[in-house]
Amino acid sequence: MRTINRIIVHHTASPDSWTLENIDQSHRDRGYSGVGYHFVVESSGLIRLGRPVVAVGAHAKGANRDSIGVCLVGAFHTKDAAVPSTQWAAAVSLVRDLMRQWSLTVDQVVGHCETKATLCPGFDPADFRAALENVPIG
């Protein structure tokens, strides 16, 4: 089993109608072996398993070896874009569960923009961490 030291949160910067299958094809078209994220949260809030967690992801160059990639479908980097509340709640719940499973703290959850210069995940990672702190540990 590989060591997990962080969770990296992304967005697809795509239409919110995209699904795991669209992402998988997009990544294959770019030369990857398939979807690079471990989990995809579709705009409806449906959580889909992408790459198995035991496998190194292909979601944040230079930061894949010790991380889990969680991606929200949609483009949240524009001024008027916001993550739908159902999708946000699903992503927070998923990441909270992953934190518990891997004994991670809120500080070990980062946005892709905190690993390299990018607009991803399109929202402030500090807002996501604040939401995680407000979810009770089950």
pTM attached to this predicted model: 0.94
Dump pLDDT digits (tens) for 15-72.
Answer: 999 999 999 999 999 999 999 999 999 999 999 999 999 999 999 999 999 999 999 9
d(CA 74, CA 20): 12
Q: Token pair of 39, please?
A: 């989990």
Q: What contacts 49, CB < 8 A, 6 or more positions away?
A: 38, 39
Q: What contacts 21, CB < 8 A, 6 or more positions away?
A: none
pLDDT at residue 134, as a whole number:
83
Dump pLDDT digits (tens) for 68-94.
Answer: 999 999 999 877 788 999 999 999 999
H or E element that contains 41: strand 39-41
pLDDT at 137 over 60: no
